Structure 1
Amino acid sequence: MSTRSRAPHGTLSRSLLLVSLVITPGVAMAQDGATGRSFVEEFDTLDRSFWYVSDGWSNGDHQNCTWSKQQLTLDNGTLQLEFAKAEAGERDYACAELQSRTRYGYGTYEVRMRAASGSGLNSAFFSYIGPVDKQPHDELDFEVLGKDSSQVQVNQYVSGRGGNEKMVPVAGGADKDFHDYAFIWEQQRLRYFVDGKLVHEVTDATKIPSHPQKIFVSLWGSDNLVGWLGPFSYAGPVSMAVDRIAYTAPGEDCRFPQSVLCEIE
């Protein structure tokens, strides 16, 4: 299921924390519009020339919270995205989202995160592009649905067409500890990994996105997506924690010891 909409904003290139500034000869070139290069973000600081903090809007009537920059903080090298009862816009709750300013193409996308606990919530790591960027809606997802945090949903959209959902077990629970999630996006193949293990593979090219996308992490809630997220229930502020986000361009070596690329290559 997709519930994306984005407020427009500018795109800037990152100058710090880039792992590779030179395109290696023989490495496959990215799609048109994919200017993002390999990086490893460990959130010692928040580089706002690279990351955009969503603030002051929601994604539609399905969402019961407003994106608020106040709900996104750093805590000893961990990004915290909080969902809390607070007056924010036309909603009774405030929630958090972080997105890259640059678009990325084929390659390896990785996150180490701990999902929030609570029915009616969605803790997500995904890539997305859509009409607000004057592009077709393409998307690649890891989403922990609040009604059952023992699983994560993987999914992708191609020009607005979804229906590719698969539920994957997360040992010990996605909200109990940090877990590693990764997808390797290629033109003819898409692979999803959880804690280094291949959990889903797509080889039908018609079900693989082709447009460069921005990278997102978000935590939000809903009162009316009961069948998907479960009945919304609020018992107090909760948070999603992100320890690391990384992107590795095609043909490049793994960039940190825990990368899925270190295991499969």
Structure 2
Amino acid sequence: MTTSKSCMYRLGLVSIALMSAFLMPQAASAQDDQPTGGSFVDNFEHLDTSRWYVSDGWNNGPHQNCTWARKQVGIKDGALQLQFVQSKTGERNYACGEIQTTKRYGYGTYEARYRTATGPGLNSAFFTYIGPTDKKPHDEIDFEVLGKNSGQVQVNQYISAKGGNEKLAPVPGGADKGFNDYAFVWEKDRLRYYVNGKLVQEVTDPSKIPTNPQKIFFSLWGTDTLSGWMGKFAYSGEPATMEIKRVAFTVPGEKCLFPESITCKLD
């Protein structure tokens, strides 16, 4: 993803600050000046609304061809499902799903096991973000699978709204064909990205490592305009689904919150 395109998406997040007073007043007041969250594992046996806020009723800007809709977020077959469907919702002809944590999280290990959606023009994302909507600089750490090529995932990070740190890493077998494990270990002086336990990117330049605690997001969205980055959008006629089996955060100094955790293998 180019910096300008990613900025367009994130600026969409920023733009909702102007609407937050009436679109999500509870979330905004709950997030202001919250202490950093602690370790957790969520296997999505149910949707814990004390941990997760469901985006509902807006879009992130003209590049996004769907409206966030609560109806597109649910638990089924032991997984959290985010869907993208053709359904007139708000200003868009499609509806899509996103969740974000109610708390911010800092240095530590972030892990998720999920299967991405299929289809060009779609983005299945696991990322952390903080920004002007939370009265903080824009910091971010990303895993994004673009439907035009589900055989790879793009990792990236933003520091005070400056990106340009993209790298593509292979996802053997295809990110949309089965469940894969994505993780990053965020430290003050080092940021490491892993796919299925394999190190795919290591960042040691302090100027390219975020410093502000962030909220954890999962989102599935589409575009009619960013075809160079995400592929030419073509709706298949059937809902597209991103499925998340597990997400975990482990604070520094703790290990092995679950047997498959990458923290069990790292020093």
TM-score (structure 2 length as normaliser): 0.90
Amino acid at match of 2:203: V
C-alpha contact 1:11 1:102 (8 A) present in aligned 2: no
Count how many residue pairs are aligned between Structure 1 and Structure 2.
247
Number of the residue aligned with 1:206 = 207
C-alpha contact 1:10 1:101 (8 A) present in aligned 2: no
Task: For 1:113 and 1:11, locate their aligned partners in 2 and report how far apart those are by CA, in whole Å.
Answer: 30
Residue 187, structure 1, aligned to residue 205, structure 2: no
Task: For 2:35 and 2:264, locate their aligned partners in 1 and report how far apart those are by CA, in whole Å.
Answer: 24
C-alpha contact 2:74 2:82 (8 A) present in aligned 1: yes
1:12 Cα deviation from its structure 2 partner:
4.9
Task: For 2:92 and 2:210, locate their aligned partners in 1 and report how far apart those are by CA, in whole Å.
Answer: 33
Number of the residue aligned with 2:162 = 161
1:77 Cα deviation from its structure 2 partner:
1.9
Number of the residue aligned with 2:260 = 258
Structural mapping, 1:39-78, within 5 Å:
39-78=40-79
Number of the residue aligned with 1:23 = none
TM-score (structure 1 length as normaliser): 0.90
1:98 Cα deviation from its structure 2 partner:
0.6
C-alpha contact 2:78 2:245 (8 A) present in aligned 1: yes
Q: For structure 1, which runs of at least 5 residues remain unmatched after alignment? A: 14-31
Quote the RMSD (CA, aligned, Å).
Answer: 1.4
Residue 103, structure 1, aligned to residue 104, structure 2: yes
Task: For 1:117 and 1:229, locate their aligned partners in 2 and report how far apart those are by CA, in whole Å.
Answer: 12
1:33 Cα deviation from its structure 2 partner:
5.7
Amino acid at match of 1:205: P
Number of the residue aligned with 1:16 = none
C-alpha contact 2:34 2:103 (8 A) present in aligned 1: no
Q: Which has the higher helix share?
A: 2
Amino acid at match of 2:239: P
1:254 Cα deviation from its structure 2 partner:
1.8
Deviation by residue 1:206-262 (Cα, 9 ceiling, x = unmatched): 000000100000000000001110000001211000000100001111210111111
Number of the residue aligned with 1:147 = 148
Task: For 1:96 and 1:11, locate their aligned partners in 2 and report how far apart those are by CA, in whole Å.
Answer: 22
- SS across alignment from 2:265: helix
Deviation by residue 1:185-222 (Cα, 9 ceiling, x = unmatched): 00100000000111100000000000010000000000
Structural mapping, 1:57-136, within 5 Å:
57-136=58-137
Q: For structure 2, which runs of at least 5 residues remain unmatched after alignment? A: 1-5, 21-26
Number of the residue aligned with 2:28 = 10
Q: Percent identity?
A: 60
1:76 Cα deviation from its structure 2 partner:
2.7
- Quick one: structure 1 residues 72 and 187, their matched pair in 2 at CA, closer, same or farther if it must change by over 3 Å? same
Task: For 1:65 and 1:33, locate their aligned partners in 2 and report how far apart those are by CA, in whole Å.
Answer: 30
Number of the residue aligned with 1:18 = none
Task: For 1:224 and 1:88, locate their aligned partners in 2 and report how far apart those are by CA, in whole Å.
Answer: 19
Number of the residue aligned with 2:246 = 244
C-alpha contact 1:112 1:179 (8 A) present in aligned 2: yes
- SS across alignment from 1:10: helix
- Quick one: structure 1 residues 34 and 172, their matched pair in 2 at CA, closer, same or farther if it must change by over 3 Å? farther
